[in-house]
Amino acid sequence: MIKDTPLIFDGKELNNRLFLGTGKFKSKKDVAACIESSGTQVVTVALRRIDLNRYEDNILEYVPKEINLMVNTSGARNAVEALRIARIAKDAGYGNWIKVEVINDSKYLLPDNQETIKATELLVKEGFIVFPYISPDLYVARALVKAGAAAVMPLGSFIGSNRGLRAGDFIRALIAEIELPVIVDAGIGVPSHAAQAMEMGASAVLVNTAIATADSAASLAKAFSLAVEAGRMAYLAKPPAKLDHASASSPLTGFLFKDEK
């Protein structure tokens, strides 16, 4: 049986390739339950959901200490704002893993790729481990490699849409052409979408809305974790190519007809 190798970022080994977002959950306790059931090792959280002034329960109280925290720059409309959010998070003690999310399109919520490149360049120079969220574009991904990103995080489809890998062909191009890990983010709606992304060769999948809004969030988080594991195993096993014709699994042989004259 093929033995997998862990993902490694900043010297930290990740054996679970499901990343979990923390928005839209009915309660913070559901977040904790999903972390436990899925076995995720990476959780993303928007700085605006961290109660810096301690007026109410801090979401981080529900995230175990051993979990790798990735603060995202949700709400940033340009590179300057993303940089400001990242600095605040680091100064507050939330680490240097940053998911760069720059969006100024209020209708489709598509990331601004050019501002994302700028933000990545600036943050890498300040020592952040940067995970940029992008619309899948090979030229943009190459620019992010050059900028020093730790990975690229292309959307699978519109954020929160649960529509799956509508951008699958473009994601395949990124996987084939760049050396950084590709983490599929946004639009993943059911575990089969996650498995498909991993079968394509994605290094990990980030899921939020689908799990957070499920009737049983913890159960679906577990299902996603299993799907990611299955998809990864299938990718490593190198399944056979698709054919455009039939190929019998038990071909007819001459012995069936040996008594015929």
Active site residues: 99
Q: Is the torsion defined by CA of 208, 213, 216, 220 positive or negative?
A: negative
110 closest CA partner among 211, 192, 174, 187: 187
Cα-to-chain-centroid distance, residue 68: 14
- Residues 7-16: contacts with CB under 8 Å, at least 24 apart: 7/181, 7/203, 7/204, 9/68, 9/97, 9/129, 9/150, 9/151, 10/96, 10/97, 10/129, 10/150, 12/68, 14/41, 14/42, 14/68, 14/204, 15/41, 16/40, 16/41, 16/225, 16/228
